[in-house]
C-alpha cells in the first residue's frame, strides 16, 4: 500500500496559544504539507469541527494542556468514535512526565512531540504516522480485524485474531488487554483477569488493564484489591476525575477518610478552575464527615463564584460540624433572610447558638424548625437541652 500524500490532507491544529497555532501552520506550509487547515483553541472547539459534516479532517496536531477540554480528553472522544477513531493524532506537550505519557497512552495516542521543536522534526513525525496508517504492522492489522469482528458480535473470531496477536507479540501488553476485554464480553471473568494481570505486569503504564482489574475485583466483592488497582491507575494518571472519585468513594466507604481527602486535594490541584467539580467534592466531603475540608472547599468555591449564595447554607453546616459555631453564625445569619423557611439552615443556626451557650436563641430557632418539620430529631434534642 502506498503512503498517504501529505500534500492532499486537511490538518486540524489545536492549541490555546494563537502564536503556536500560527507557527505550526507556517511549518506545514513550509514543507508543503496540507491542502487546507482548520484551527481550534481547545478540545471542545476541535470536537465541534470534527463533527461538522462539511469538514473532513485527515490529521490532527493537538496540544495537551488546554482549557475547557485538553488534548487527552479530545483524544478519548476521538478514539471512542467509530467515524473518527482512525485519524492520526500527534500530541504536542511542553513536558513528557510519566502522568502525561500514561494518560495519552491510555487513549492510544499515535505519537508525541515535545516543545520546542523544529520543522524537520514535525515533518519526520507526520511522515512516520502516515506511513503507519498506510502500511500497518501485522499486529495493527490483527487488532483492527479483531475490532471489526467484535463490533459484528463475532467474539470467537475476534478472540482467535487477538490470540494470534498475543503469540506474535508476546512482550506487548495491548493484545493481552484486548483479549481480556473480549473474554469479559464472553463472560469468562477468570480468563479476563489473567490477561489483564499479565498486561499490567508487562507494562506498568497500562492504565486500562489496571482499571479493568479494579472493576473485576470490585464486582467480586474484594474492595481492598479493587482499591489497590484503582489507586495504581490513579497514581499514573491523577487527572482522571471519574477514576479519582471512584477511588475516593471506595475509601470513604471503608472509613479511610485521610486517604480520601488526599485524593480530593489532588483533584482540586489538577482542576483549579473546575467549580462544579470542587462543589461536588465539597458536598461529598460534607456527607462523609470531612467537615474541615468541606468548609475550606466551599469557601474556595464561593470566592470563585460568589453568585452561588445557596452554598453558604452548606458552608454553615460544615462549620457547625467542624466546631466553628461563631463563623457558622456569621455565615448563616447573612443568608437566613433569603431562605426563611429552610429547616436545614435554621437547625444548623440553632445548633451554632447552642454551642456558644446562647440557649434562648437556640430554643427559638429549634421551635421554628419543629413547626416546619415536626419530626426533626435535632430540633427536639435542642429544645430538650434548653429546658
The pTM assigned to this predicted structure is: 0.69
Mean pLDDT to the nearest integer, 318-335: 96
User: For residues 112 and 293, which has the higher predicted lDDT (pLDDT)?
Assistant: 293
Q: Identify the sign of the CA torsion 25, 30, 31, 35.
A: positive
Which CATH number do you get for residue 21?
A: 3.40.50.2300
Q: Taking 70 as the threshold, does the pLDDT of residue 108 lie above it?
A: no
- Asked whether residue 110 is domain-assigned, the answer is yes
The answer to whether position 79 is within a domain reads yes
| 208 found inside a domain | no
At residue 264, does pLDDT exceed 80?
yes
What is the average pLDDT across 209-234?
A: 88
pLDDT at 102: 59
pLDDT at 272: 84
Long-range pairs of 317-322 with CB within 8 A, sequence gap ≥ 24: 317/286, 317/344, 317/348, 318/282, 318/286, 318/291, 318/292, 318/294, 319/291, 319/295, 319/352, 320/348, 320/351, 320/352, 320/355, 321/286, 321/289, 321/291, 322/291, 322/292, 322/294, 322/295
Per the structure, the count of domains in the chain is: 2
Looking at residue 295, its pLDDT comes to 97
The Cα–Cα gap between 99 and 373 comes to: 50
Is residue 26 domain-resident?
yes
In a domain, residue 188? The reply is no
255 secondary structure, DSSP code: T
33: how many CB neighbours lie within 10 A of its CB? 22
In a domain, 310, yes or no: no
Q: Is 282 left (phi over 0), alpha (psi -120 to 50) or beta?
A: alpha
2-7 average pLDDT score = 79
Q: Which residue range is the domain that position 338 belongs to?
A: 326-387
87 CB-side CA count, 13 A: 29
Name which of 62-71, 284-293, 332-341 the model is least confident about. Answer: 62-71
Q: Band the pLDDT of 354: cuts 50, 70, 90.
A: very high
Is 203 or 61 the better-scoring residue by pLDDT? 61
Q: What is the Cα–Cα distance from 105 to 2, expressed in whole angstroms?
A: 27
pLDDT at 114: 84
* pLDDT tens by residue, 43-99: 999 999 999 888 899 999 999 888 888 888 888 889 888 889 889 999 888 766 555
Q: What is the CATH number of the domain that holds 377?
A: 1.25.40.10
Which is more confidently placed, 331 or 246? 331
pLDDT recorded at residue 328: 96
Assess if residue 120 is contained within a domain: yes
Lowest mean pLDDT, pick from 22-31, 51-60, 107-116: 107-116
Q: Is position 176 within any domain?
A: no
Pairing of β 59-63 and β 10-14: parallel
pLDDT tens readout for residues 118-149: 999 999 999 999 988 888 888 888 888 988 89
> Sheet holding 10-14: strands in order across?
36-40, 10-14, 59-63, 89-93, 111-114
Which pLDDT score is estimated for 97? 59
Residue 104 has pLDDT above 70, yes or no: no
Which residues neighbour 32 within 8 Å (Cβ) at sequence distance 6 or greater? Answer: 7
> What is the pLDDT of the chain when averaged over all its residues?
89
Domain endpoint, select from 102, 135, 168: 135
Q: What is the Cα 96 distance to its own chain's centre?
A: 19
* 237 in Cβ contact with 253 (< 8 Å): no
**Which residue did the predictor score with more confidence, 71 or 213?**
213
Give the model's pLDDT for residue 106: 52
141-198 per-position pLDDT tens digit: 888 898 889 889 999 999 999 999 888 888 888 899 999 999 999 999 999 999 999 9
Residue 78 has, within 13 A of its CA and on its CB side, a CA count of 34
C-alpha cell at 369: 424548625
Residue ending a domain, among 96, 118, 135, is 135
**Domain boundary pick from 93, 114, 135:** 135
Residues 332/352, Cβ–Cβ less than 8 Å: yes
Per-residue pLDDT for 2 more than 60?
no
Q: Cα dist. 351→288, 336, 343 in Å? A: 19, 14, 12
Residue 361: pLDDT band (50, 70, 90) is very high
Amino acid at each position: 500500500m502506498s503512503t498517504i500524500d501529505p500534500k492532499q490532507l486537511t490538518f486540524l491544529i489545536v492549541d490555546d496559544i494563537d502564536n503556536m497555532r500560527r507557527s505550526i501552520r507556517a511549518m506545514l506550509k513550509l514543507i508543503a504539507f496540507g491542502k487546507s487547515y482548520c484551527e481550534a483553541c481547545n478540545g471542545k472547539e476541535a470536537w465541534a469541527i470534527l463533527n461538522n459534516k462539511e469538514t473532513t479532517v485527515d490529521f490532527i496536531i493537538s496540544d495537551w494542556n488546554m482549557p475547557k477540554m485538553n488534548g487527552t480528553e479530545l483524544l478519548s472522544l476521538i478514539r471512542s468514535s467509530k467515524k473518527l477513531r482512525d485519524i492520526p493524532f500527534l500530541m504536542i506537550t511542553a513536558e513528557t512526565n510519566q502522568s502525561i505519557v500514561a494518560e495519552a497512552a491510555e487513549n492510544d495516542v499515535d505519537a508525541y512531540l515535545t516543545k520546542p521543536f523544529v520543522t524537520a522534526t514535525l515533518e519526520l513525525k507526520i511522515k512516520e504516522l502516515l506511513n503507519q496508517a498506510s502500511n500497518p504492522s501485522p499486529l495493527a492489522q490483527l487488532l483492527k480485524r479483531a475490532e471489526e469482528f467484535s463490533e459484528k458480535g463475532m467474539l470467537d473470531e475476534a478472540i482467535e485474531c487477538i490470540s494470534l496477536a498475543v503469540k506474535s507479540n508476546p512482550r506487548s501488553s495491548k493484545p493481552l488487554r484486548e483479549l481480556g476485554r473480549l473474554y469479559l464480553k464472553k463472560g469468562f471473568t477468570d480468563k479476563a483477569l489473567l490477561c489483564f494481570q499479565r498486561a499490567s505486569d508487562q507494562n506498568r503504564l497500562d492504565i486500562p488493564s489496571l482499571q479493568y482489574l479494579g472493576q473485576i475485583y470490585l464486582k467480586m466483592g474484594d474492595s481492598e484489591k479493587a482499591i489497590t488497582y484503582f489507586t495504581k491507575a490513579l497514581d499514573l494518571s491523577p487527572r482522571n476525575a471519574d477514576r479519582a472519585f471512584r477511588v475516593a468513594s471506595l475509601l470513604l466507604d471503608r472509613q479511610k477518610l485521610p486517604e480520601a481527602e488526599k485524593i480530593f486535594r489532588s483533584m482540586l490541584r489538577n482542576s483549579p478552575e473546575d467549580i462544579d467539580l470542587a462543589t461536588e467534592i465539597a458536598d461529598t466531603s460534607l456527607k462523609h464527615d470531612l467537615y474541615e475540608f468541606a468548609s475550606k472547599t466551599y469557601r474556595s468555591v464561593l470566592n470563585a463564584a460568589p453568585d452561588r449564595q445557596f452554598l453558604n447554607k452548606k458552608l454553615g453546616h460544615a462549620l457547625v460540624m467542624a466546631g466553628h459555631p461563631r463563623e457558622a453564625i456569621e455565615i448563616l445569619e447573612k443568608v437566613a433572610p433569603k431562605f426563611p423557611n429552610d429547616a436545614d439552615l435554621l437547625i444548623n443556626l440553632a445548633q451554632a447558638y447552642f454551642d456558644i451557650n446562647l440557649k434562648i436563641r437556640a430554643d427559638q430557632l429549634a421551635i421554628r424548625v419543629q413547626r416546619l418539620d415536626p419530626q426533626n430529631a435535632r430540633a427536639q434534642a435542642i429544645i430538650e437541652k434548653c429546658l
